[in-house]
Amino acid sequence: MASISMSDIYCNGTIFENDDEQLIYLTPSFPQRYTSNTWIYKKTPTEERWLKDLERQHQLHTNQGSNHYAFSFPENEQLDNHWMAMFKDMNFELGIMELYAIESDALANLPRNSDVEIAIVDESHIDAYLKVAYQFSLPFGKDYADAHEKMVREHYQKDVIKRLVAYLNNEPIGVVDVIESENYIELDGFGVLEQFRHQGIGSTIQSLIGEYAISKNHKPIILVADGEDTAKDMYAKQGYVYQSFCYQILKEDIGN
């Protein structure tokens, strides 16, 4: 498997600025989404520089209706205790995002539930997809869930994301977004409704994606998981291999 990095992960947002120091995403059409309105550092800034960047992000975000701060720090770089204490004092949430990858053959070999049907989202499946996706969006607030639904309806037929919905007994119960690049196939927005978990639905979805990846010159499959989420343990058990990490910080309700 070729070397994989966080820069291979797709960001569904608009690039506002990109230089040697940082990559800035600013997406006025979806100001509520953290990952579409964030700063990704390529080099760890000084404290003085970060505080200035924070002021600038505040202005840019509030001007377009974003009510959060979001920053990602360079891949595989530890932040010292001084940074950690400062983030805590400023009421930022600190997270660790981890990059995982698996070969297509290994993913295709995951067990399948023959009762599960998988469909590519088109006009006949968009409502089913959104019914499930909405449940996963709600924890971020109704405004976010509504905005996400509106965005998907407007773009699902023309963007680079291939969306899948899983059915059990004709009921939609799981979704995943598939982003194919030249060298990889990325999974995002992957979820199965809680009451239908532990029935082989997630492994069925992934197995079929693995089969597709084999047909595309055996492209590896990649995804990012929250380092503090139990989902990453599931991926490890399924054969995904840890690649790298990065720190992310988030603060909500910045207008209050």
Domain presence at residue 191: yes
Q: How far apart are CA 104 and CA 208, in angstroms?
A: 10
Give the mean model confidence (pLDDT) for residues 46-73: 97
pLDDT tens string 197-239: 999 999 999 999 999 999 999 999 999 998 877 778 889 999 9
Give the mean model confidence (pLDDT) for residues 62-84: 96
Question: Does 214 lie in the same domain as 110?
Answer: yes
Residue 130 sits in a domain of what CATH number?
3.40.630.30
Q: How far apart are CA 145 and CA 136, in angstroms?
A: 8
Q: Determine the pLDDT at residue 207.
A: 98
Domain presence at residue 224: no
Question: Does 152 lie in the same domain as 66?
Answer: no
Domain presence at residue 238: no
Q: Determine the pLDDT at residue 164.
A: 98
The amino acid that residue 126 corresponds to is I
What sign for the dihedral angle of Cα 132, 34, 120, 220? Answer: negative
Domain presence at residue 226: no
Q: Determine the pLDDT at residue 131.
A: 98
Give the strands of the sheet with 241-252, arranged side by side: 15-18, 22-25, 38-41, 68-72, 241-252, 93-102, 221-226, 185-192, 171-180, 161-168, 116-120
256 has a pLDDT exceeding 70? no
Q: How many domains, the chain?
A: 2
**Domain around 37:** 6-97+247-252
Distance, C-alpha 185 to centroid of its chain = 13
Please measure the distance between the N-terminal and C-terminal CA atoms of the chain and give it in whole angstroms: 47
DSSP 3-state of 164:
strand
Question: Does 159 lie in the same domain as 62?
Answer: no
Q: Determine the pLDDT at residue 23.
A: 97
Question: Does 129 lie in the same domain as 171?
Answer: yes
The count of other CB atoms within 10 Å of the CB of residue 15 is 11
pLDDT tens string 85-113: 999 999 999 999 999 999 999 999 999 99
Q: Determine the pLDDT at residue 232.
A: 82
